[in-house]
């Protein structure tokens, strides 16, 4: 049975607090007619601080799409290897033991993918499979877990490595003044996460079932406009209400497995914002405390896109894990509107 082991997570050294974010918005957009609304939305995110790749004065300066992508490639190569090595160590494996690398990121572009560079730089085998995923946004963390699970189900002795690298601050657009974009300036942070899915052995979540679900006709609710200046984030005001149609999909997945989604032992959920978690608590019928790991990620790091699910799982490990064979749900939500969901039991390796 494939086991999702302890994730490694790293955030950059530059920090911006909620108060600094609000002060910046007031100074940069003093004449914006919807500034009071944007400020209120930022305050309601629950984000107290975020970590940024570069100092704020560099983050606010737009040197062009090409220059930003150079930063993305340079910084991912500088920062990802240490996180990967920590994840390998946690799983008690070496680079040579990995058969598949799933790399997810929606905040920069490289071809060949960073996976090719990592194989050469870190000594992975030359026959290691590569699966880069660039267009699932925040849902990609859940998708990476699911594709690794599928691979290890097909090849029971194989091991898969998951990497999520998100530098959301490289998508800051100073001239994009829509309310959704202003909100994103106070919501998203930068972070890197990595974890191993072992085909056998390992302590963590023993993965048992996964599924995907797309809410029909919502593909333009979360999107990028790709322009000469780079990625422009689009967020529809209806997005916070998506748990009403997605909660039944989570219940159905649990029901197919003979479980009740309201009576599980742990929940590892992508935290796009506090309303997502509040509504999911309501529609699943679980106490708000069940999502404490996701809330902590949101509060301390902001929305770090595909890395959120892995960071929330890391916090479960930090708490000591769940009871042996405790049942859990993992889910990531993103563009589409897409949900990537999985079920598993907490297992402790001998």
- Residues marked as catalytic: 138
Angle at 61 between CA 55 and CA 62, to 5 degrees: 130
37 three-class SS = helix
Exposure string of 114-147, with b = 16+ CB inside 10 Å and e = fewer, is: bbbbbbeebebeeebebbbbbebbbbbbbbbbbb
Exposure string of 4-26, with b = 16+ CB inside 10 Å and e = fewer, is: bbbbbbbbbebebebeebeeebe
Distance CA 297, CA 197 (A): 22
Are 102 and 162 contacting, i.e. CB atoms less than 8 angstroms apart? yes
* Chain centre distance of CA 24: 26
In 3D, which of 147, 146, 144, 149 has the Cα closest to residue 163?
144
Distance CA 193, CA 187 (A): 18
HSE (side-chain half, CA atoms, 13 Å) at 235: 25
In 3D, which of 307, 324, 332, 329 has the Cα closest to residue 203?
324
Q: Is 96 exposed, middle or buried (0-12, 13-18, 19+ CB in 10 A)?
A: exposed
Q: Measuring CA to CA, how many Å separate 119 from each of 130, 216, 297?
A: 9, 38, 30
Are 205 and 347 contacting, i.e. CB atoms less than 8 angstroms apart? yes
Distance CA 55, CA 120 (A): 31
Distance CA 303, CA 264 (A): 25
φ, ψ of residue 163 to 5 degrees: the values are: -135, 130
Task: Report residue 203 as tokens.
Answer: 């302590």
């Amino acid at each position: 049975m494939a086991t999702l082991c302890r994730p490694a997570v790293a955030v950059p050294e530059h920090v911006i607090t909620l108060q600094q974010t609000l002060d910046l918005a007031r100074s940069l957009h003093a004449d914006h007619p919807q500034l009071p609304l944007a400020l209120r939305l930022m305050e309601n995110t629950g984000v107290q601080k975020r970590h940024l790749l570069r100092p704020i004065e560099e983050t606010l300066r737009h040197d062009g799409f090409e220059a930003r992508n150079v930063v993305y490639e340079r910084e991912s190569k500088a920062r990802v290897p240490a996180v990967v090595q920590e994840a390998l160590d946690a799983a008690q494996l070496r680079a040579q033991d990995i058969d598949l690398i799933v790399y997810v990121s929606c905040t920069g572009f490289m071809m060949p993918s960073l996976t090719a560079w990592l194989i050469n730089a870190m000594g992975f085998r030359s026959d290691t499979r590569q699966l880069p995923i660039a267009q699932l946004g925040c849902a990609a963390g859940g998708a990476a877990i699911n594709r690794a699970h599928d691979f290890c189900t097909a090849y029971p002795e194989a091991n898969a490595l998951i990497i999520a690298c998100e530098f959301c601050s490289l998508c800051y657009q100073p001239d994009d003044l829509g309310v959704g974009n202003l909100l994103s300036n106070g919501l998203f942070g930068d972070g890197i996460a990595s974890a191993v899915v072992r085909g056998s052995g390992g302590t963590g979540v023993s993965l048992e079932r996964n599924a995907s679900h797309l809410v029909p006709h919502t593909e333009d609710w979360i999107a990028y406009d790709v322009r000469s200046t780079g990625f422009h984030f689009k967020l529809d005001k209806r997005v916070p209400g998506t748990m009403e149609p997605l909660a039944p999909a989570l219940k159905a997945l649990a029901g197919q497995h003979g479980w009740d989604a309201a009576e599980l032992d742990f929940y590892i959920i992508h935290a796009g914002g506090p309303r997502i978690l509040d509504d999911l608590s309501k529609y699943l019928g679980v106490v708000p405390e069940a999502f404490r790991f996701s809330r902590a990620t949101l509060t301390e790091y902001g929305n770090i896109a595909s890395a959120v699910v892995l960071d929330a799982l890391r916090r479960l490990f930090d708490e000591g894990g769940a009871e042996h064979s405790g049942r859990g749900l993992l889910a990531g939500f993103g563009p589409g509107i897409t949900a990537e969901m999985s079920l598993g039991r907490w297992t402790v390796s001998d």
